[in-house]
Structure 1
Amino acid sequence: MDLMDSLFISLGAAVTIYYGVKVLLFTGLLFPKFWFPLPQSFFSSMGEWAVVTGSSEGIGRAYALELAERGMNIVIMSRTKETLDQVAQKIRDTTGKKVKVIVTDFTKEDVFTEIEDQLKALNIGVLVNNVGILPSTIPSKFLDMEELDQIITKVINCNVKTGAKMCKIVLPGMTKRGKGVILNVSSGVASIPFPLYNLYAASKVFVERLSQGLQAEYKDKGIIIQAVAPFGVSTRLANYPKTNMVNMSPEDFVKCSLQYLAAGDKTYGSIWHMIMGWILQTVPLKVLHAECVLRGIQDYVKKKTANTYTSESDAWSG
Structure 2
Amino acid sequence: MAAAVDSFSLLYREVSRCVSGWLEPLVVVGALYVCGRALVLLRGTCTVLRVHVLPRVCARGPPLSQRYGAWAVLNGTSSEVCRAYAEELAKRGVNILLISQSGEEEELEGEGSEASSPALSLRRHGVEVEVVRVDFPLLGLAASKPVLLALRDKDIGLLVNCLDPELDSHQDLVDQSEESLWRALGANMAAASLLARWVLPGMVERGRGALVNISSGAHYCLPVAGRVMLAATCGYMEQFSRALRQEYGHRGIFVQSLIPLEISSSGEPGWLAPTAELYARHAITTLGISNHTTGYWLHAMQYGATRCVPEWIWLLTSRLFLTLT
User: Scaled by the length of structure 2, what TM-score is found?
Assistant: 0.77
Match for residue 185 of structure 1? 214
Match for residue 203 of structure 1? 233
Structure 2, gaps ≥5 residues long: 1-27, 110-116
Match for residue 321 of structure 2? 296
The answer to whether the aligner puts 1:212 opposite 2:212 as a matched pair is no
Structure 1, gaps ≥5 residues long: 1-7, 301-318
The answer to whether the aligner puts 1:52 opposite 2:74 as a matched pair is yes
CA shift for structure 1 position 47: 1.4
Q: Distance in 1 between matches of 2:287 and 2:323?
A: 35
CA shift for structure 1 position 121: 1.8
Describe the superposition over 1:251-283 as per-residue Cα deviations: whole angstroms up to 9, x where unpaired: 111110112223322111111111222222222
Match for residue 88 of structure 2? 66
Q: Distance in 1 between matches of 2:76 and 2:276?
A: 13
The answer to whether the aligner puts 1:154 opposite 2:180 as a matched pair is no
Describe the superposition over 1:188-237 as per-residue Cα deviations: whole angstroms up to 9, x where unpaired: 111222322111111111001111111122111111110111111134xx
Match for residue 305 of structure 1? none
Could you say what secondary structure the match of 2:157 adopts?
Answer: strand
The change in CA–CA distance for 1:259 and 1:275 in structure 2 (over 3 A counts) is same
Structure with larger RCO (C-alpha < 8 A, sep 6+)? 1
The answer to whether the aligner puts 1:163 opposite 2:192 as a matched pair is yes
The change in CA–CA distance for 1:286 and 1:262 in structure 2 (over 3 A counts) is same
Q: Distance in 2 between matches of 1:234 and 1:18?
A: 30
Give 1:87-166 correspondences, 5 Å limit: 87-92=118-123, 94-110=124-140, 111-135=143-167, 137=169, 139-143=170-174, 145-147=175-177, 149-166=178-195
State, as a whole percentage, how many aligned pairs show the same letter: 24
User: Scaled by the length of structure 1, what TM-score is found?
Assistant: 0.79
CA shift for structure 1 position 171: 0.6
The change in CA–CA distance for 1:246 and 1:215 in structure 2 (over 3 A counts) is same
CA shift for structure 1 position 245: 2.7
Match for residue 304 of structure 1? none
The change in CA–CA distance for 1:135 and 1:184 in structure 2 (over 3 A counts) is closer
Q: Distance in 1 between matches of 2:135 and 2:320?
A: 34
Q: Distance in 1 between matches of 2:236 and 2:59?
A: 29
Match for residue 250 of structure 1? 276
2:314 maps to a residue whose letter is L
Answer yes or no: is the 8 Å Cα contact 1:175–1:221 preserved in 2.
Answer: yes
CA shift for structure 1 position 127: 0.9
Q: CA RMSD in A?
A: 2.9
2:310 maps to a residue whose letter is P
Q: Distance in 1 between matches of 2:183 and 2:254?
A: 28
Answer yes or no: is the 8 Å Cα contact 2:75–2:162 preserved in 1.
Answer: yes
2:85 maps to a residue whose letter is Y
Which has the higher Rg, Structure 1 or Structure 2?
Answer: 2
Answer yes or no: is the 8 Å Cα contact 1:127–1:182 preserved in 2.
Answer: yes
Match for residue 24 of structure 1? 46
Describe the superposition over 1:90-139 as per-residue Cα deviations: whole angstroms up to 9, x where unpaired: 211x21111111122334333434312221221101111124253462x2
